[in-house]
């Protein structure tokens, strides 16, 4: 059996973690800081647990330069849970804003306010989705399930410009954005399809007066790998299991103007009158923020691992995320360069301007039998200690997930294997 040092794991998630972080976590799991108890055994209500959460929040804010007017939440239910959480919370925020406007317009007559809100929900409530891959499609479908398709606007669908397949991002000028949408959602990096937004979309940028679209982004698979303009977003969420840590925790970075006292969530009674869904309390940003991520039992062990990854990143890169970005770009350049040098053997799935640095997707076309070619590629790669390269079951092919924990040497080893395979 191979040892850990002999394997470079390119799996899409759960992903590779730094060995020294795992070793430290293993010790903490048995006895945390000489307490005689493992970290998973300590109460999530303890001062010890609160300190782990607060340190992780502070280190994340430091690494990404998160402004003070944002709250960092540790949640559960993964990215799929956030598909629902964003709907519940952002629709609630929209209702609160409309309610505040209605109070100014018709006074504090509850019946008149409710009547006006019912008309606005029926005619104005929209959530916009930019569908550029499998995960944004799932988010869009979840919004339709929760709200009804009449309230969900498919602002763009990348399949319409790419022969019904994902692999490109439509021009911003073609996006059909709603007026005053409760949110505009997009997935910054599509793990399955290897599509990454090259930068923040210009059309979604905040205006000079501070107004503009309410932008929500899923960054589950490229967070911590490049600098992002946090101030342009109202919500950024990501599962820990790609670049941050192990499965079990999800992070939401939420602008505080979506939280009390500026924007308290509407009452369940009002939402029922409006015919809108009431979300589970464990998905309420307001509730999680109020309780410092400890409304219910949080996996402190998983937060601890995330915190140790952040401490390692901060210790490694004096320029924080910019340093990691340079390495991430270099690794992607090495792998893509090897693939591009042999177009007779490898077919890249994604159009060049939108190729993900994190999830490099390609097909092997060495002979007339792609299935056999890809099976041979995977078997030979495994023999070289290169594992986790099989593409997602929904699309097939090969996928190298080039997350932060993949060392530069790992990317070089894969590139060398790619060239060797092509030469056989």
Q: What is the pLDDT of residues 33-87, one digit of tens each?
A: 999 999 999 999 999 999 999 999 999 999 999 999 999 999 999 999 999 999 9
Split at pLDDT 50, 70, 90, the class of 10 is very high
pTM of this prediction exceeds 0.95: yes
pLDDT digits (tens, 9 = 90+) for 85-111: 999 999 999 999 999 999 999 888 888
For residues 424 and 407, what is the distance between their CA atoms, to the nearest angstrom? 26
Q: Which two tokens stand for residue 160?
A: 């319409």
Contact 170, 161 (CB under 8 A): yes
DSSP 260-319: TTTSPPPPHHHHHHTT-----GGG-HHHHHHTTT-SS---HHHHHHHHHHHHHHHHH-TT
Same domain, yes or no: 157 and 282: yes
What pLDDT does residue 202 have? 97
Same domain, 199 and 63: yes
3 state SS of 58:
helix
Cα–Cα distance measured from residue 50 to residue 290, given in angstroms and rounded to the nearest whole number: 14
Q: What is the CATH number of the domain that holds 150?
A: 3.40.640.10
221 lies in a domain?
yes
Instruction: Enter the tokens of residue 284.
Output: 């309420």
In a shared domain, residues 276 and 330? no
Q: Are residues 100 and 226 in the same domain?
A: yes
Q: Examine the domain organization and report whether 200 and 327 are in the same domain.
A: no
Domain end among 303, 328, 357: 303
The per-residue pLDDT for range 266-309, each reduced to its tens digit, is: 999 999 999 999 999 999 999 999 999 999 999 999 999 999 99
pLDDT at 230 over 70: yes
Q: What's the average model confidence in pLDDT over 150-169?
A: 97
State whether 329 and 416 are in the same domain. yes
Residue 310: band (very low, low, confident or very high) from pLDDT cuts 50, 70, 90? very high
Q: Strand pairing partners for 253? A: 72, 236
**Tell me: the pLDDT tens digits for 110-146?**
889 999 999 999 999 999 999 999 999 999 999 999 9
CATH classification at residue 364: 3.90.1150.10
184 and 279 part of one domain: yes
The pLDDT of residue 185 is 98
Cα distances (angstroms) measured from residue 18 to each of 15, 25, 254, 306: 10, 11, 28, 11
For residues 272 and 349, state if they share a domain. no
pLDDT in the model for residue 108: 86
Average pLDDT of the residues of the chain: 96
Please provide the DSSP assignment of 73-89 as one string.
EEESSHHHHHHHHHHHH
What total of structural domains would you count in the chain? 2
Q: pLDDT, tens digit, for every residue of 355-412?
A: 999 999 999 999 999 999 999 999 999 999 999 999 999 999 999 999 999 999 999 9
- Percent of the chain whose pLDDT exceeds 70: 100
Is the pLDDT at 424 greater than 70, yes or no? Answer: no
For residues 286 and 362, membership in a common domain is answered with no
Domain span holding position 155: 52-303
Say if 256 falls within a structural domain.
Answer: yes
Tell me how many degrees the CA angle 5-8-14 measures, rounded to the nearest 5.
110
d(CA 245, CA 17): 7
How far apart CA 60 and CA 253 sit, in angstroms, is: 10
Torsion of CA 250, 251, 257, 261, to 10 degrees: 70
> What is the rounded distance in angstroms from the CA atom of residue 337 to the CA atom of residue 148?
45
């Amino acid at each position: 059996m191979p040892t850990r040092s002999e394997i470079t794991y390119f799996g899409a998630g759960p992903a590779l973690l730094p060995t020294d972080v795992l070793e430290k976590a293993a010790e903490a799991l048995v006895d945390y800081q000489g307490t005689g108890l493992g970290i998973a055994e300590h109460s999530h209500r303890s001062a010890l647990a609160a300190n782990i959460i607060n340190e992780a929040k502070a280190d994340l804010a430091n690494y990404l330069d998160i402004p003070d007017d944002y709250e960092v939440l540790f949640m559960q239910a993964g990215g799929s849970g956030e598909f629902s959480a964003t709907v519940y919370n952002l629709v609630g925020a929209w209702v609160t804003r409309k309610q505040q406007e209605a109070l100014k317009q018709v006074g504090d007559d509850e019946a008149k306010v409710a009547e006006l809100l019912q008309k606005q929900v029926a005619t104005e409530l929209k959530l916009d989705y930019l569908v550029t891959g499998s995960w944004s499609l799932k988010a869009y479908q979840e919004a339709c399930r929760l709200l009804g398709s009449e309230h969900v606007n498919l602002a763009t669908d990348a399949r319409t410009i790419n022969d019904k397949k994902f692999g490109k991002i439509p021009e911003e000028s073609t996006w059909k954005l709603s007026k005053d949408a409760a949110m505009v959602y997009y997935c910054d990096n599509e793990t399955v399809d290897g599509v990454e937004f090259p930068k923040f979309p210009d059309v979604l940028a905040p205006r000079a007066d501070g107004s503009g679209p309410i932008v929500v982004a899923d960054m589950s698979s490229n967070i911590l790998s490049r600098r992002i303009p946090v101030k342009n977003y109202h919500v950024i969420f990501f599962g820990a299991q790609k670049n941050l840590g192990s499965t079990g925790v999800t992070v939401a970075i939420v602008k505080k103007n979506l939280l009390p006292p500026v924007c308290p969530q509407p009452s369940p009674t009002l939402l029922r009158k409006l015919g809108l869904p009431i979300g589970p309390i464990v998905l309420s940003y307001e509730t999680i923020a109020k309780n410092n991520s400890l409304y219910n039992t949080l996996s402190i062990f998983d937060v601890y691992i995330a915190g140790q990854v952040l401490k390692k990143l901060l210790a490694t890169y004096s320029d924080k995320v910019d340093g990691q970005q340079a390495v991430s770009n270099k690794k992607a350049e090495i792998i893509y360069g090897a693939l591009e040098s042999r177009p007779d053997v490898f077919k890249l799935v994604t159009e060049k301007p939108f190729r993900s640095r994190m999830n490099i997707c390609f097909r092997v076309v060495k002979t007339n039998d792609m299935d056999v070619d890809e099976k041979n590629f995977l078997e030979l790669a495994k023999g070289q200690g290169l594992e986790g390269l099989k593409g997602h079951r929904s699309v097939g092919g090969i996928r190298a997930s080039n997350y932060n924990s993949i060392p530069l040497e790992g990317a070089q080893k894969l590139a060398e294997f790619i060239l060797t395979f092509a030469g056989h």
